[in-house]
Structure 1
Amino acid sequence: MKEYKFLRILDKFEKIYTKIGVDYDKMRLILSMKLTLDSRRTSTIMQDQNKNNNEEDKNIFNRALIIYAIMGIFIGITAMVSFNNMYKFSILFGMFMFLVLTIFISDFSNVLLDIRDKNIIGTKGIDNKTINAAKITHICYYIFLTSLALSWLAIIGSFRQSPLVGIIFILELIVIDVFMIVLTALLYLLVLRVFDGEKVKDIINFAQIALVIIMTISYQFLGRMFDIVDLNIIYKSKIWNLFFPPMWFAAPIYAIEGGHINQIIIALIVLAIIVPIIAIILYIKNTSKFENSLSKLNIAKDNEKEKKRGLFYKIGRNLCFNNEEKAVYDLSTSIIKKEREFKLMTYPSLGFVVIFPLLFILIFSVDSFSEIKNISLHMSLNIYWFIFMVPTILMALQYSKDYKAAWIYQSTFVNDKRNIYKGAYKAVISNLLLPLYLLESIMFIVIFGMKVIPILIIGFIFMLIFIVIQHIISKNKLPFTLKMGEIDKGQNIISTLLGMVILGVAVGVNYFILINTYLLIIYGVILTIITFIMWKKCILDFSTN
């Protein structure tokens, strides 16, 4: 088995693992095995097809690092600019924490929540602490590499400021990596301890969305904590700064670079040290409980009939006009609600589409919450950001971990395969898009008042048209027929760009007729007619089977 440099570096920390009760030799062997297997399979981060994935030396993760390194250029530009250190490093750590959290949730949650290690390795006399330590170290290895790719230019910029700043910056990046992993793991542990069975999977997905949304909102608040006077950024410490983790880690650099030190700054520095330590200690003490609690993911309760009685399910099923559509609708609804891989691909993105329209309103329209009531109605067109996620959802709908079961489409006599697409798309609309769009609409009505309702209705109707447009330009395969990871990136990029152009045109048309109620009504009627025609005539079968 190949000897990895990472393992030789890890050997220097053997005593730390031993002190917390980990069998280091066994953990090292598990890690070696995991790294070897990683080199032989397609990276979920790239989600790209690897036809030669049996070649050991080929690891598609390296291609992901190149993309992250390019992203690191844009992040590092902030570190190269000379302005208030508290502002600069708060923004840097905010971006960094946000990216690390989203990458960890989207790509490594499955590793942390994997119950196969306990079921297979755990039966060989290896304790829970050792199994969990192998998982966390395995994740940290990839997160550290990702972090280095994201922060390489920022690290150079921090060393240009001073060697001491550079050293502290690197140390804090390492602490943030571990802190974000442990914090998420503790949240998962809390969910696993409180809930049982299938509900655990749903709660975990919602917890992931909540984490990403909280980080996104917190990041937007950072810029509002500083005053700009004569183009100079001035930091005035406030008590509520203590609730923003990026500012905890910015405070030490601010202090050593001559910033004004007061009780708030000292408290921020203390939080940057104490909170990660407490989180790590809590997690170490509960690793055995975490592994034992993962067994709940195996418990599945047959509560599908209860779910089918829901209002949104009934709305969607009543819109299916034949038995073929209804059969696919039921199948798609079941997969959408139960398959964890599908949820991990789509749910975090759905969380974004709920919060992004509101963030754009907050960022570009108001300087304080007292100004919300005076926002122009034109800002309500940010609702179209919700529609922007349609290509991602339709793309995810083609994939499944049980893609081989697609033979059912061939073995079952289907008069018109377009009914398969229609049933699946209606399941997505009724079970995912409609509930979230109604939630978004309620928030828009609170902000803009009842006058925004015609715009919201037009936005939803256009979304139905946009689904058909994306289906045509993307040439989507039959639902759930492709293996996870087999994505045609070129086609995906082209369809997304075309979708952006079409969406931009729709926003432009809506913008110019916004002030005339009669034009809005006529436009809405025209879109409704187009919707019926396109759903009846324009959904094509692109399957090659």
Structure 2
Amino acid sequence: MKEFRTLKLLDLLQSYFVKMGIDYPIMRKLVQVKLTMDGRRVPAIFNQSTKKRTDSSDKNNFIKSLWFYALMGGIMVPLLFVGQNYLFQMGFIFGILMFLVMTSMISDFSAVLLDIRDRTIILSKPINRKTVSMAKLIHIIVYLFFLTGSLSAAPLVTSLVKNGVLFFLVFVVEIILLDILIVVMTAMVYLLILKFFDGEKLKDMINYVQIALSIVITVGYQLVVRSFNMIKFNFEFQAHWWQVFVIPLWFGAPFEWLLHGQNQTQFIIFSILALIVPFIALKIYSNLMPTFERYLQKLANNSITNQKGNGWLLKIISKVVCRSQDERTFFRFAIYMMGNEREFKLKVYPTLGFSIIFPFIFIFNEFKDKGLSAVAAGNWYLSLYLCAIMIPTVIMMLKYSSKYKAAWIYKTVPFQNTAPIFKGTLKAFIIKLLLPVFIIESILFTLLFGARIFPHLLVIFLSILLFTFISFRALRKALPFSEASEAGQQNEFWVILALIVLVSLLGGIHYLATILNGGLYGYMGLLLVVNFLVWRKGFNISWKSLSADVFQ
């Protein structure tokens, strides 16, 4: 196996691991195996590769994707030139870093953190449980190091040139501390859920927690901004008691304390928290690792208790939304797969959290500046279009499954065309994932804006249905749940970005329709006609054009 450079760096901490009761040689070998196997895994944000799966085993797709993270990190560089308030600059930068890294942690590494295969393959051997758990933790930290290193490369280089060596060194140390804290925080949340739930309910709770984490990190990112007032482009810190819970401020405070000589109590407290909390958290987690591994066994419980209870409701819904028996069959099949495919839920459910919170972020900004009455009288209900940002990602993920080898069943389907398969699957996505989010948002928006937005809600929903069809046609076609998650096309990510831009375009058309006399209802009628036509005739995809190994 390949001798990774990170393993040589890990050797420098060998004595520390031995003191913790870790069998270091075994742990090192486990980490080496995990890093080797990761050459076959593709991160969610760059979840495609133009080459076949058989060609990807010798190349690390995650490492190849780091250029994209580095490009994203460039958005933080301008913050280093905004005034001279290090607490604002670095608090904001660490807020962005925490947002991006935590998002990647939830979507990419939850499957690794919650992997129970180690229990079957490794723990059946005479190996210390603590050693296995630490190998898993080190594995995740190594990849988070590459991830944060790529994201922070541009601001690190800029800070070295602009602010000097001491600033650069403090920045590097705090990035490492942030990584440790994020890993442990995520693991501790999952540990809490594992303690109180079991079986299928546990798996559902984990998905709900992912949605909650997505919302929390998005709201926390906003709290960083709310901690400052801008006066003539200079940001002044406004101290409040609740800021002790805003983690990015912890990591911004040492720059003010050490480099600007700001020795106020709040800066010292924040700095101490940034230094000691990650190590305390790591110590607590290391002591709880055997418990964590023991609780993970609950994930092996595949008991299903409520499938029969809601089967009648699923049949009724399928008869309402699907025109043919074939379509109903795949509607129920897709509902089942989306509810039971754990890898699908681990990667898709966090986007539901973003879809729920994003429309309210813009409203909150307007509310802060103009007040509730001004917001309620305006047209900020158009921000509801942002709940559609999840659609391209989910449609892309509908192609993938950990049980993709069972896709041979498609060979036995006696259909002349693929329309029932795709229509049934997309309608299942709309009913199970999209519609609940839209209904929740609509209720909250109606409470805020009043009954006057009912026609607008209908137009937005019709636009989202059309956008769902456009996303399906624009993305690469494959039979539902027929491919391993490593398969795909590199340019699909850029298609998703273009589709997200299209969401804002649809919102703009809606706004223009409200300006014209009777334009809203005319636009509503047009959307009804277009949706009827495309959903009736737009799913006749040739079997031969599908990019799946099923027919090869």
TM-score range normalised by the length of the shorter chain:
over 0.9
SS at match of 1:483: coil
**What residue is the counterpart of 2:224 in the other structure?**
222
**What residue is the counterpart of 1:43 in the other structure?**
42
**What residue is the counterpart of 1:451 in the other structure?**
452
Q: 2:154 is aligned with what amino acid?
A: L
Is the Cα–Cα contact under 8 Å of residues 418 and 539 in structure 2 kept in the other structure?
Answer: no
**What residue is the counterpart of 2:367 in the other structure?**
366
**What residue is the counterpart of 1:238 in the other structure?**
240
Q: Distance in 1 between matches of 2:144 and 2:303?
A: 35
Query: Can you list the C-alpha shifts for 1:76-96, whole angstroms capped at 9, x where unaligned?
Result: 332354421110010011111
Is the Cα–Cα contact under 8 Å of residues 316 and 430 in structure 1 kept in the other structure?
Answer: no
**What residue is the counterpart of 1:484 in the other structure?**
485
**What residue is the counterpart of 2:403 in the other structure?**
402
**What residue is the counterpart of 1:297 in the other structure?**
299
Residues 58 and 304 (structure 1), Cα distance of their counterparts in 2 relative to 1, 3 Å cut: same
Q: 2:117 is aligned with what amino acid?
A: R
**What residue is the counterpart of 1:421 in the other structure?**
422
SS at match of 2:236: strand
Query: Can you list the C-alpha shifts for 1:304-323, whole angstroms capped at 9, x where unaligned?
Result: 52563586874344212221
Is the Cα–Cα contact under 8 Å of residues 312 and 435 in structure 1 kept in the other structure?
Answer: no
Q: Distance in 2 between matches of 1:150 and 1:491?
A: 22
**What residue is the counterpart of 2:331 in the other structure?**
329
SS at match of 2:334: helix
SS at match of 1:2: coil
Q: 1:212 is aligned with what amino acid?
A: S
Q: Distance in 1 between matches of 2:449 and 2:272?
A: 42
Q: 1:467 is aligned with what amino acid?
A: T
Residues 36 and 489 (structure 1), Cα distance of their counterparts in 2 relative to 1, 3 Å cut: closer
**What residue is the counterpart of 2:494 in the other structure?**
493
Report the count of equivalent residues: 541
Q: Distance in 2 between matches of 1:276 and 1:470?
A: 42
Query: Can you list the C-alpha shifts for 1:101-130, whole angstroms capped at 9, x where unaligned?
Result: 111111111111111112111111112100
Residues 427 and 317 (structure 1), Cα distance of their counterparts in 2 relative to 1, 3 Å cut: farther
Q: Distance in 1 between matches of 2:474 and 2:58?
A: 37
Residues 8 and 396 (structure 1), Cα distance of their counterparts in 2 relative to 1, 3 Å cut: same
SS at match of 2:514: coil
**What residue is the counterpart of 1:164 in the other structure?**
166
Is the Cα–Cα contact under 8 Å of residues 42 and 53 in structure 1 kept in the other structure?
Answer: no
Correspondence 1:523 to 2:523: yes
Is the Cα–Cα contact under 8 Å of residues 325 and 423 in structure 1 kept in the other structure?
Answer: yes
Is the Cα–Cα contact under 8 Å of residues 354 and 436 in structure 1 kept in the other structure?
Answer: yes
Q: 2:374 is aligned with what amino acid?
A: N
Correspondence 1:537 to 2:537: yes
Residues 195 and 320 (structure 1), Cα distance of their counterparts in 2 relative to 1, 3 Å cut: same
Q: 1:257 is aligned with what amino acid?
A: L
Residues 64 and 437 (structure 1), Cα distance of their counterparts in 2 relative to 1, 3 Å cut: same
Q: Distance in 1 between matches of 2:164 and 2:493?
A: 44
How many angstroms does 1:296 deviate by?
A: 0.6
Q: Distance in 1 between matches of 2:101 and 2:372?
A: 32
> Unaligned stretches of 5+ in structure 1?
none
Correspondence 1:63 to 2:64: yes
**What residue is the counterpart of 2:191 in the other structure?**
189
Q: Distance in 2 between matches of 1:326 and 1:197?
A: 28
SS at match of 1:300: coil
**What residue is the counterpart of 2:257 in the other structure?**
255
Q: 1:527 is aligned with what amino acid?
A: L
Q: Distance in 1 between matches of 2:501 and 2:37?
A: 42
User: 14-23 vs 73-82, which deviates more?
Assistant: 73-82
Q: 2:371 is aligned with what amino acid?
A: E
How many angstroms does 1:141 deviate by?
A: 0.8
Percent identity among equivalent residues? 35
**What residue is the counterpart of 2:548 in the other structure?**
none
Q: Distance in 1 between matches of 2:73 and 2:508?
A: 33
Q: Distance in 1 between matches of 2:65 and 2:505?
A: 33
Which of these residues, 344, 348, 359, is aligned with residue 346 of structure 2? 344
**What residue is the counterpart of 1:100 in the other structure?**
101
How many angstroms does 1:153 deviate by?
A: 2.4
Q: Distance in 1 between matches of 2:495 and 2:25?
A: 49
**What residue is the counterpart of 1:440 in the other structure?**
441
Is the Cα–Cα contact under 8 Å of residues 317 and 329 in structure 1 kept in the other structure?
Answer: no
Q: Distance in 2 between matches of 1:500 and 1:155?
A: 30
Q: 1:163 is aligned with what amino acid?
A: V
Q: Distance in 1 between matches of 2:314 and 2:56?
A: 47
Query: Can you list the C-alpha shifts for 1:7-52, whole angstroms capped at 9, x where unaligned?
Result: 121111111111111111111111122222233x243353223437
Query: Can you list the C-alpha shifts for 1:425-464, whole angstroms capped at 9, x where unaligned?
Result: 1111111111110011112112212212211111112222
Q: 2:304 is aligned with what amino acid?
A: D
SS at match of 1:234: strand
Residues 494 and 107 (structure 1), Cα distance of their counterparts in 2 relative to 1, 3 Å cut: closer
User: 108-117 vs 262-271, which deviates more?
Assistant: 262-271
Residues 451 and 306 (structure 1), Cα distance of their counterparts in 2 relative to 1, 3 Å cut: farther
SS at match of 2:487: coil
User: 309-318 vs 63-72, which deviates more?
Assistant: 309-318
**What residue is the counterpart of 1:508 in the other structure?**
508
Correspondence 1:357 to 2:359: yes
Query: Can you list the C-alpha shifts for 1:370-409, whole angstroms capped at 9, x where unaligned?
Result: 8133115322111112223322221111221222222222
SS at match of 2:543: coil
Q: Distance in 2 between matches of 1:439 and 1:312?
A: 20
Query: Can you list the C-alpha shifts for 1:310-344, whole angstroms capped at 9, x where unaligned?
Result: 86874344212221111111110000011011112
Q: What pairs up with 1:141-156 in 2 under 5 angstroms?
A: 141-156=142-157
Q: 1:242 is aligned with what amino acid?
A: V
How many angstroms does 1:54 deviate by?
A: 5.7
Correspondence 1:468 to 2:469: yes
User: 268-277 vs 399-408, which deviates more?
Assistant: 268-277
Q: Distance in 2 between matches of 1:55 and 1:505?
A: 37
How many angstroms does 1:289 deviate by?
A: 0.5
Is the Cα–Cα contact under 8 Å of residues 331 and 428 in structure 2 kept in the other structure?
Answer: yes
How many angstroms does 1:143 deviate by?
A: 0.7
Is the Cα–Cα contact under 8 Å of residues 77 and 155 in structure 2 kept in the other structure?
Answer: yes
SS at match of 1:227: strand
